[in-house]
Chains A and B, each alone.
Chain A
């Protein structure tokens, strides 16, 4: 796909320069944005581009005495919304996987936990800047939503990473 859109970018650029018609700016920007993916203000806008029967989200929680996650109002505490938590985790996991020479879908639970801990530390830092904190042992919980035609919706939570109370935030 990269090669196709790189080719389309150059063809559109050639059309814009040599045929001297402003319309070619449209396919140029479209092809260039999809090729480079994200380079502000260009973006390939990947949201909702591959719908399927499962989707995941993350929430931040505090572990109670039984070790069960109790959700925290993450936006109120840190200024980072729940959708951003997911986007950050995905982005950081992708970079970590790249540094290990593998795909992010091949990360081991321990490697995912490392990314999750760094993210929790970042969120803790944001909370402290707002003169708040993530109480107790913080946990990053991933929930998979699956739709089955016969059984309907199911949601399965899993704790990805924890950050003990008193752990110092680490600036990124």
Chain B
């Protein structure tokens, strides 16, 4: 018996089959997929380096919806800008504003594909001028559900290419990694769907079962987005155990030293008095003087990262873990000044998935016609494929 057959027979008991099914690709309702697509397209727009006017007119666009000067006043004030936090990012980060043009015209320390390709054209004014004409129609296609195998590779090239150039200056910025990984995964899935059934992939035919378990390619697209989120959380949880020689938990109170470092670096950015180097941040002293409390608190955060894969079990675990991840980011923000607002948005979109829960509660309590959490059921038929 081959190794593969031996493994397959070992893991074919009812319990393992249940676990495999739970951690497999679920079915999504059509409205969920639409909401996720629209919201993710919004986040993608915010991440694209379209330059002016898209990068500095977000407030003006928002004021067309919320007339008057109140929004400008809110966003201009540090306290009121964060009035929705928690649980949401600052209001300025929710505005319809893209990123500025990539400010670098060289790649002295090439990262990723910059090792093989010159990406400095993302800084070229002539290219940046035509970029909105490429990106915005692609985002429109993405939202519409048509032509994704055309739109996604283009969006993927723009986002990954531009952020790779940004990361090729000798330092790595981590704020766009998760959104880029999701876009890459969705691009791969759309091309797989194009190979499987071109008309369906292009949106010219209703989605049908494309996997052996009766999942559509949309189900696969959303699921792989979730898988990329979970993987992104697990990476720092896992690496900490290895880089510290297994001592991370015991040494975690020394993060207090890092808090001082962050405080000092904040000062030397613009020499603002609130970060004056004569001050010692109270949190740093607390962490080092109360080692065990610190170890417990930080250990919970890292523990959450290590067990992140459990989030994939069912809709309830997506919700619970999604909210825990958002809380984790909020605590990192207030304790260390470390924030990842785009990541929080992705947690809301693909894990917390509020549209589903609003609909599910309405069906259960208002319509008195509850819907099972594992609905909808698998589609009949299904071509054998990766599930």
Contacts and interface: CB of A to CB of B under 8 A. Distances in A.
B260 A153 contact: yes
Given A29-B231, A45-B174, A95-B109, A54 B236 contact: no
A22 B261 contact: no
B171 to A, nearest CB: 3
Contacts of A46: 239, 243
Interface stretch (B35-43, B88-96, B160-168): B160-168
B312 interface: yes
Interface string A66-89: 000001111110010111101110
Contacts of A50: 240, 243-244, 248, 251
A51 to B, nearest CB: 4
A26 B307 CA distance: 12
Contact of B257 (A16, A38, A79, A145): A145
A57 B264 contact: yes
Given A40-B112, A44-B235, A49-B236, A55 B171 contact: no
A21 to B, nearest CB: 6
B387 A21 contact: yes
Contacts of B172: 38, 40, 43, 87
Contacts, number: 202
B9 interface: no
A34 B238 contact: yes
A20 interface: yes
A33 interface: yes
B256 interface: yes
Given A40-B160, A49-B248, A143-B264, A26 B170 contact: no
A1 B245 CA distance: 11
B265 A57 contact: yes
Contact of A79 (B103, B236, B244, B387): B103
Interface string A145-172: 1110000010100000000000000011
Interface in A85-123: 86-88, 91-92, 95, 122
Contacts of B280: 153
Contacts of A73: 268-271
Given A22-B25, A26-B230, A71-B271, A1 B242 contact: yes
Contacts of A74: 268-269
Interface of B: 4, 7-8, 20, 23-25, 103, 106, 108-109, 111-113, 160, 163-164, 167, 169-172, 174, 176-177, 180-181, 184-185, 212, 220, 223-224, 227-228, 230-232, 234-236, 238-240, 242-244, 248, 251-258, 260-262, 264-271, 280, 284, 288, 309, 312, 385-387
11 contacts: A22-B25, A23-B20, A34-B238, A40-B113, A43-B177, A49-B239, A55-B260, A59-B268, A72-B271, A145-B257, A146-B257
Given A19-B8, A49-B243, A153-B257, 4 more contacts: A34-B239, A51-B251, A79-B103, A84-B169
